[in-house]
Amino acid sequence: MTAQFAHLTQQAALDGAISDAEVLTLRQSGWADGHIAREEAEAIFALQQATANPSPVWSDFFVEALRNFVLNGSEPRGYASDEEAAWLIRMVEADGKVCSMTELELLVQVIEKGLGVPDALKVYVLKVIEAAVLTGTGPTRDGGELADTHVTPAEAIMLRRVVFGSASDKPGAVSLREAEMLFRLKDATLHQANAPEFKAIFVQGVGNALMGYANEAAHVSREKMLQLEAFVADNKPQLGRFMGQMAREVPNVFGVVFGKRTAAPSREEQVSAAEAIVPYEQEWLDAQIAANGQVDEYDRALLDFIEQQ
C-alpha cells in the first residue's frame, strides 16, 4: 500500500467522508500495479464503514475494487478461494450486519460476475438477500426501493441477479436451495402488493430448478481450473510441437479423432430427461406447496407452467 493511499484512506475515515477527487486518487494509486492488495482492500472496507453518506462515485469504486480483489486476487482469475470468501464474510460482518446497499451490491456482483465461489459464500449471500427482501427498507443504489412489507421491483431484480448468477449454486440454472428461498419469500409476502416481476422470477426459478437442464461439465471448479492452468503452463511448448507435428504428418487426424461420435446421450436427450420431474422432485414440490396450507396463485402459476412444458 502506497503512503498516499494509506494517508487518504486514514484521513477520509477520520472525516467520515471522501470527495470524488479523492476517490479518483485512490483509484489511481490503488491500481497502480494492476491489482488491489489485501491491506488496501481492508483500508477500503474500513473507509466504507466510516463514511456516513457515500457518493455514487465512491460506491462504484468500492464495489469494483472489492469485487476484483475477491475474484481476481489470486489464481485462477474469476474465482474466490475459501480464504477470500471467508475474508469477505468477515469484513461485511465486522459491525454485525450488512450495513449498506453498497455492501449488498458487492455481494450480489460477486455471485453475478464470478465464475465460482465457495459454497459457504453462496449460502451467506442467499441468507443476506432473503433478509434484505424481508426486512430491508430504503433506496437501492439503482434508484429502486427496498420494502419490509412486500417484494418491490428492485428486490425482484436483485433476486434474479443472484439466483441466475454465474457463480450461483448452479451456474445457468437454479438449485433446490435457491428455489426453497423463493418459496419462503413467496409465503412471507403472499398477501402483499408484490411486484409482478417477482411472480415471474418465482415461476421461472422454481420451474428451472425442477425441469431445467444444467450441463455439469460446463462449470469448472476452482480446483480443476488450477490444475488445468498448471498443466498447460508446464506443457505448453511440448503440446504446441506435438499438435504441429500431427497436423503436418497426419492432416486428417483432427477430423477423425475429434469428430468421433460417442455413445453418450445427445444434448437434446439430456434436456428432455431434465424436463421430466422425478419422484423425489415431486415430493419436494408437494412439500413446498403444502407449507402454507393452500394452493395459492403463485403455486397455480407454477403448476400451469410445468404442465405446459
pLDDT of residue 271: 45
Angle between helices 82-92 and 56-72 in degrees, nearest 10: 150
CA–CA gap between residue 155 and residue 139 (Å, rounded): 11
CA–CA gap between residue 291 and residue 270 (Å, rounded): 31
Of the candidates 169, 45, 29, 27, the residue with the CA atom closest to the CA atom of residue 99: 45
Contact between 309 and 211 (Cβ < 8 Å):
yes
Highest mean pLDDT among 23-37, 64-78, 181-195, 268-282: 181-195
Task: Count how many residues are written for the chain.
Answer: 309
pLDDT of residue 211: 87
SS3 79: strand
Separation of CA 253 from chain center: 41
Q: What percent of the chain has pLDDT over 90?
A: 54
pLDDT of residue 214: 47
Contact between 79 and 114 (Cβ < 8 Å):
yes
First to last CA, the chain: 56
SS3 170: strand
Name the average pLDDT for the chain.
Answer: 83
User: Is the pTM above the cut of 0.85?
Assistant: no
| Torsion angle in degrees (nearest 10) through CA of 207, 209, 212, 214 | 160
Mean pLDDT along residues 67-74: 92
CA–CA gap between residue 26 and residue 45 (Å, rounded): 13
pLDDT of residue 159: 95
* pLDDT confidence band for 244 (50 / 70 / 90): low
Question: Is the pLDDT reported for residue 222 higher than 60?
Answer: no
The larger pLDDT score, comparing residue 146 to residue 236, is at: 146
* pLDDT confidence band for 195 (50 / 70 / 90): very high
pLDDT of residue 36: 85
Mean pLDDT along residues 118-144: 90
Which DSSP string do the residues of 177-230 spell out, in sequence order?
A: HHHHHHHHHHHHTTTS---HHHHHHHHHHHHHHHH----GGGS--HHHHHHHHH
Q: Which helix (H) or strand (E) holds 259?
A: none
Highest mean pLDDT among 39-43, 173-177, 179-183: 179-183
Separation of CA 279 from chain center: 30
| Torsion angle in degrees (nearest 10) through CA of 221, 222, 223, 228 | 90
* pLDDT confidence band for 303 (50 / 70 / 90): very high
Which DSSP string do the residues of 6-64 spell out, in sequence order?
A: HHHHHHHHHHT---HHHHHHHHHHHTTTSS--HHHHHHHHHHHHH-SS--HHHHHHHHH
* pLDDT confidence band for 125 (50 / 70 / 90): very high
Of the candidates 268, 161, 169, 272, the residue with the CA atom closest to the CA atom of residue 211: 272
Mean pLDDT along residues 187-199: 96
Mean pLDDT along residues 153-162: 94
